Structure 1
Amino acid sequence: MRVMLDANILLDSLILESSGLPRAGKIASEQLIQLCDNGVHQGLVAWHTLPILAYYRRRQHTAQDTATMIDTLL
């Protein structure tokens, strides 16, 4: 099944992982991404989600770390 991973799903698991901020959907978001990683579902990301992720990731990490995270996601 194809699933669209919107900015909120990705922010829950990828960006806020080291901030320690509680998010209600964090566990569900991580489970969905794990299913995509395991090949159960095909995860899709809209092109306009990538700048949003980069903006928030860059606030907590280096530019190189942000680029690596985007590359890994894609």
Structure 2
Amino acid sequence: MQTVTVPEIVEHLQRLSPEKLVVVYDFVSYLLERETGQTLSRTASEAFQPMLASEPVLRRDWERPEEDLAWANL
């Protein structure tokens, strides 16, 4: 796994649009919630609920042999 430092992350964050920063914030909040078991941000939890709800349905498509073949050379 690649090692990344906080200053490297900050450097990339400074180049993102405000809209993308909201997405990053929600994702980081989600990761922290999973790790600590505590809700940190209502926005983060709400943002990831549709993703979590759709995962089982999408998994059926992702796990098809046709999908593996389509992505094999990438």
* TM-score for the superposition, normalised by structure 1: 0.31
Larger radius of gyration: 2
Query: Larger relative contact order (C-alpha < 8 A, sep ≥ 6)?
Result: 1
- Structure in which a larger fraction of residues adopt strand: 1
* TM-score for the superposition, normalised by structure 2: 0.31
